Amino acid sequence: MVKAGLSVPLALLMTFTVFAGSAQLAALPLMAVGAPIWVIWATAFCVNLRFVIFSAQWRPFFMRFPLKQRLLLGYISADLSYVLFMKRYQTPSADEAVGQVEYFLGGTTLNWCAWQIPSVIGILLADRIPTDWGLGFAGVLALLGLIYSLLSDKATALAAVVAGAAAVAAFALPFRLHIVVAIAAAVCVGLMIDGSGGAGRRVRDVLLRAGGRSSGEQTSQRAVSA
Amino acid sequence: MNDLEAVVTILGLAVITVVTRSFFFISSRELVLPDWVQRGLRFAPLAALAAVVVPEIVMTQGQLIGTWQDARLFAVVAATAYFFWKRGILGTIVCGMAVLIPLKLGLGW
């Protein structure tokens, strides 16, 4: 974060408030080049969309708490706590003795500390690490590993390839809009090849109704759905 | 980006983090998304990450690189191989950097 041009206090603010590694890694290069704030937020929102999906599964476990506590539970939940928790408890239990939320809190508290301590060390030591070693690339490799771990089938793999290619092809767009283009392209292609095809037809209808604005994309979508 | 803008950006990111993570348990009303939206959402995080990562690997200053003598390409191959062998993200980073740093410092790629 400090290498991306943030001052130490700002970097500390970011690590403690924005508890989301992948969103931070995606947002920092954008902040460094001075992208518009809404693009940075939109990118972070998209990177965080997986948590939206997770939250639907958290809902039955958390609804018995008041809103403020639910938001706090949301803030500390993370990929790892989701995976471990859902493996251990399939159904919510009203019985306090089962200790589901205690299990969640234990895991997430440890996870929060394990994340924040190295973060703070990194922020404070940033100036002592030379840039020409290319250590910044470690962030790219971290995201790459995260991408690989999200690949679950051929549809997601193809969507990732499409997003990468679209991002490179549209890179010259202003305001880092190539990221938005890439997400739109990947979601369309994903829907085209995923499931019964009903969803794909609906997306194609919407696009056709929108007129010939993106005729090239429609052609490729027809090719995919045929 | 000045400090005030950075603070606004960061606080906005914090709000986004909490809202996305709590999305379906903020409202006490049951909220059901259409099936195709749910399936579409599955691809969005992956796409956003790929859109950030791929240009960082194959582009330099907005141009597609025209040479294979780029340390990043070899680092990515090594990292990919490690990931599909052991499935660990930390090892993926270490392995990629172990290839990147010698190439960068030794050969200047």
Segment A50-75 mean pLDDT: 78
Whether B13 and B42 share a structural domain: no
Does B22 reside within a domain? yes
A172 at interface of B, judged by CB pairs closer than 8 A: yes
A50 interaction partners in chain B (CB closer than 8 Å): 45
The pLDDT-based confidence of A167 (bands split at 50, 70, 90) is very high
Judged against a pLDDT cut of 90, whether residue A161 lies above it is answered with: yes
- Pairing status of strand B63-64 against strand B59-60: antiparallel
Span B7-61, pLDDT tens digits: 888 888 888 888 888 888 877 777 777 777 777 777 887 888 898 889 889 988 7
Does B11 reside within a domain? yes
A222 at interface of B, judged by CB pairs closer than 8 A: no
Whether B23 and B12 share a structural domain: yes
Express as a percent the part of chain A with pLDDT over 90.
Answer: 7
Does B62 reside within a domain? no
Whether B109 and B86 share a structural domain: yes
Span A39-57, pLDDT tens digits: 888 888 877 876 777 777 7
Whether B53 and B80 share a structural domain: no
Segment B101-106 mean pLDDT: 86
Per-residue model confidence (pLDDT) at position A226? 40
Does B41 reside within a domain? yes
Q: What gap in Å lies between CA A86 and CA A157, rounded to an integer?
A: 24
A111 at interface of B, judged by CB pairs closer than 8 A: no
Whether B106 and B90 share a structural domain: yes
Whether B71 and B90 share a structural domain: yes
Whether B46 and B22 share a structural domain: no
HEC assignment per residue over chain A: CCCCCCCHHHHHHHHHHCCCHHHHHHHHHHHHCCCCHHHHHHHHHHHCHHHHHHHHHHHHHHCCCCHHHHHHHHHHCCHHHHHHHHHHCCCCCCCHHHCHHHHHHHHHHHHHHHHHHHHHHHHHHHHHCCHHHCCCHHHHHHHHHHHHHHCCCHHHHHHHHHHHHHHHHCCCCHHHCHHHHHHHHHHHHHHHHCCCCHHHHHHHHHHHHCCHHHHHHHHHHHHHHC
For residue B64, what is the enclosing H or E element? Answer: strand B63-64
Per-residue model confidence (pLDDT) at position A133? 67
B62 interaction partners in chain A (CB closer than 8 Å): 171-172
Name the residue in chain A with its Cα closest to that of B64.
A168
Give yes or no for a contact between A188 and A219, defined as CB atoms under 8 angstroms apart.
no
The domain tally of chain B equals 3
What interhelical angle do B3-22 and A21-32 show, nearest 10?
Answer: 150
Name residue A137's amino acid: F
Q: By residue range, what is the domain housing residue B84?
A: 67-109
Whether B109 and B83 share a structural domain: yes
